[in-house]
Amino acid sequence: SGKEREFSEQKVNKNPPKIVNRWIVDYYFSVAVEFFKNHQYADFCGVRTILDNVLERPTESVDDMLLKLRVLQFLSRINEGDKLSELFVFITLIE
């Protein structure tokens, strides 16, 4: 009936792109960590670039997102070992 439909429409998230972008970040985070563990540093940097681009878009904020970004920053600094003075910045709308 009308009330049931109104209630179910309220439960639907009104911003699916934010959710999809979060899923993309989750996926590429796991891919980046695997590349790093397997010493595939060029691939790691490529995924990091993809993540930079995704994070320029609105992303659903979840509790572990900031931690994931900090882990990627840390791994990036290890990978860039000879350039530790350069700042690696992820653009986020989460903070």
Give per-residue pLDDT as tens, 37-91: 999 999 999 999 999 999 889 888 888 888 998 999 889 988 888 555 544 444 3
Q: Label residues 54-83 b or e (16+ Cβ within 10 Å = b).
A: bbeeebbeeeebeebbeebeebbeebeeee
Q: What is the pLDDT of residue 81?
A: 82
Q: Map out the domains of the chain with their CATH numbers.
A: 2-83 (1.25.40.210)
CA distances in angstroms from 40 to 1, 29, 37, listed in the order given: 56, 14, 8
Region 6-21: what's the mean pLDDT? 68
Task: Indicate the pLDDT class of residue 16, thresholds 50, 70 and 90.
Answer: confident
pLDDT of residue 15: 72
According to the model, what pLDDT value does residue 27 have?
97
Which class for 32: exposed (0-12), middle (13-18), buried (19 or more C-beta within 10 A)? buried
